[in-house]
Amino acid sequence: MNKKSFLFLIIFLIAAGCSSGSRFSKEVLLSNIRISSIDNTISSLIPNYWKNYEDNLNQTILLWFVNNSGNSSILITEVNSNAEELSTLAEITKASKKQNKEDLKISSTQAFSSEDKTGLHFLMEGNTIQYVFLFKHKNRVYEASSISHQNSDHLKEELFYITKEVIGSIK
């Protein structure tokens, strides 16, 4: 990540923590339509102006949302883990929380509305923006990957909040 992008991310996260966040509130970002996963283990609200797709080939994607323009998507999959892998995931989650708090100046409670076991990785290369969230729900570990092939300051912020709210709406 280049210095300018990293600086923007820090400023954005600090501003997001200080602002009311009404532009990115749950009511603005999510519809009232709830979709169940292909295995019926979880359900989530669909983001406004997004569509739900099903993974008809491998059926490994539990929930799959694509925005109407087709430039952004959110995929939610279960992380199939044994005890050793779960221990490693716990370490990754702990490290990502520490990094978010120290480097990005945010705490987990400011960044996420889901359960306590949440990690975040952010990547930006060229025109691609990607967030990878790890979270725990009902004793299962999931990964939510959001990606956009359109790089703009507004989209970086919007994709982060949409993904956060989708995770927060999971039942």
The enclosing domain of 116 has a CATH number of 3.40.1000
- Strand, helix or coil at 19? coil
Residue type, 118: T
Residue 24 lies in a domain: no
Of residues 65 and 152, more confidently modeled: 65
Angle between helices 3-18 and 153-168 (to 10 degrees): 50
pLDDT tens digits, one per residue of 74-130: 999 888 765 556 566 566 666 555 555 444 443 443 344 344 445 566 667 777 888
Residue 164 lies in a domain: yes
Residue 74 lies in a domain: yes
Residue 34 lies in a domain: yes
Region 131-146: what's the mean pLDDT?
Answer: 83
Q: DSSP labels for 26-62?
A: HHHHEEEEEEE-TTSS-EEEEETTEEEE--TTT---S
Please state whether the predicted TM-score (pTM) of the whole model is above 0.95. no
Q: Would the pLDDT of 21 be above 60?
A: no
Domain residues for the domain of 154 are 3-19+29-168
* Domain count along the chain: 1
